[in-house]
Amino acid sequence: MPIEPGVTGRVEHTVSDEDTALSMGSGQVPVLGTPRVVAWAEEACCLAVRDRLGEGETTVGMRVQLDHLAPVAVGHAVTSDATVERVDGRRITFTVSVTDAAGLVAAGKVTRAIVTTESFLQKAR
């Protein structure tokens, strides 16, 4: 199946102590940390396209533009959604959002590139 605009991915998580800014070293508060928000948004992107990639292909992150808008306490559930907005050759741009029961937690765009896993790993330093 080709990767086309409109393809979606969704993941759901419950915030744990390991997901907090305090635990991740990105702040001094025990609420959902921005690095975890980014990771969950990228996870939704990967899920959206994983069954549409060719044999030996994967996607890798290129750019993340994300506004983290609201704190989420430990124990609360969040949903991360990704929708393919544009495909430009091997580059895929996603619109992403993270929400909880109270509303929008984060929103932005993620760009990932399709690569051949073996070739990509050979370039690793």
Is 3 inside any structural domain? no
Is 15 inside any structural domain? yes
Structural domains counted in the chain = 1
Is 111 inside any structural domain? yes
Instruction: Quick: pLDDT tens for 34-62.
Output: 999 999 999 999 999 999 999 999 999 99
Residue carrying structure tokens 């609420």? 31
54 token code pair: 């060719």
Instruction: Quick: pLDDT tens for 94-107.
Output: 999 999 999 999 99
Phi, psi of 5, deg, nearest 5: -55, 140
DSSP codes joined into one string, 44-79: HHHHHHGGGSPTTEEEEEEEEEEEE-S--BTT-EEE
Query: Which CATH number fits the domain that encloses residue 103?
Result: 3.10.129.10
